[in-house]
Amino acid sequence: MIKVSLLWGLITLLENYSRSEAALVTTMAEMVVSGVSTKKVARVVETLCGSSISKSAVSDVCKDLDKEVEAFRSRPIEGNYPFLTVDATYFKVRENDRVVSKALMIAYGTNDDGKREILGFSAYRNESREKWKDFLTGLKKRGL
């Protein structure tokens, strides 16, 4: 029984560390997107964690996240989606060292089993007819 409880404790510890690490990365990314400089993000991380992180490490984390997001956005859309919901909401984003407002267009598909999935999303300056056409054409090219 002791081995089982020790193993369970180790698994729980590792799971908590993974969640904490994920929360830290998410917080760092949100700070950068909100316009906080990488230098300030590094200082906040040092205050929270007690260990230093360079501003280039913060940038590297954000670049890795960018790669994952791009892979998700460009993946093929497979399967049948009898229902499609599209919408847009505005967010403040960091662009060229400035914080600007952009429309985030998002498409949800409901599959044959009734499960909703995010099929795609993209940020645009506004919700013009041309931007919606571009967004929907991109979904079609990926297999929708």
Give the model confidence (pLDDT) of 67-109 as tens digits: 888 888 999 999 999 999 999 999 887 778 788 899 999 999 9
Would the pLDDT of 130 be above 80?
Answer: yes
Cα 110 to Cα 53: distance, rounded to the nearest angstrom: 42
Would the pLDDT of 123 be above 80?
Answer: yes
Beta strand segments in 17-140, E: 83-95, 98-110, 116-124
Q: Identify the pLDDT of residue 10.
A: 37
Cα 139 to Cα 143: distance, rounded to the nearest angstrom: 7
Q: Identify the pLDDT of residue 76.
A: 96
